[in-house]
Amino acid sequence: MRLADRTLSIADFRRLGALEIYTAAEVVAFARGRAATGAPPADGGVDDGLSFRIGQLFASPTKVHRLLWLARRPGVLPSILLRRFAQLVASRCVERLSAADELADIRLKAALVAHQQHLDGGCHLRSLDSLRADVEQATVDHVRYAGERAADGCRAVAAALDPDPCEAAAQAAHRYLELFRDAESEAWLRHCLSDLIERSG
């Protein structure tokens, strides 16, 4: 079964801890791409067996932070997809900052190239440890000599290299949203994640 066609039920949301943050009615509204209206019923008022396609959930025009929260839950999305998402986000951070003449650092490009090779099966993640240290040093250097935006670009790349794929995806996206606070950037993140899910086997 394609990833996009797999389902999550209200019971799954409960297991993932969503119902500690949202009511069941809000989860249903999120899944259906609209705001909850009226007085929400108690959690028990929604059937635990009610299910939603993964593709439907991540195409929902809900707040992007909710999508990232769901993506971050272990077992919801495959590790390789989360890593690819983190790579795309970190690369876009560097590209946009470079285009604005706010960031230029060969260490970041080297790390992103090596990480892409890892995603393509060319090297083990542990082989990137030295490059991760280079990116961390680049962050320190840019804090001292350039500024926080350049440093945040470095932090986005460092996030993509995190050994935990859930953290890599969530933190890279967080840095992107901190750098580019506009609706277009949120829409790009949403489309990027949804597209990866739809194209995943």
pLDDT, tens digit, for every residue of 83-131?
999 999 999 999 999 999 999 999 999 999 999 998 988 777 777 788 8
DSSP state of 125: G
d(CA 75, CA 83): 14
The answer to whether 170 and 160 have CB atoms below 8 angstroms apart is no
Which of 39-48, 61-70, 107-116 shows the lowest mean pLDDT across its residues? 39-48
| Alpha carbon distances (Å) from 18 to 8, 70, 108, 168 | 12, 8, 35, 21
Which pLDDT score, from 0 to 100, does residue 78 have? 94
Of residues 45 and 65, more confidence is placed in: 65
Name the residue type at position 94: V
- Compute the average pLDDT of residues 176-189: 93
Which pLDDT score, from 0 to 100, does residue 129 have? 81
pLDDT in tens, 152-174: 999 999 999 998 999 999 999 99
Instruction: Give the pTM.
Output: 0.87
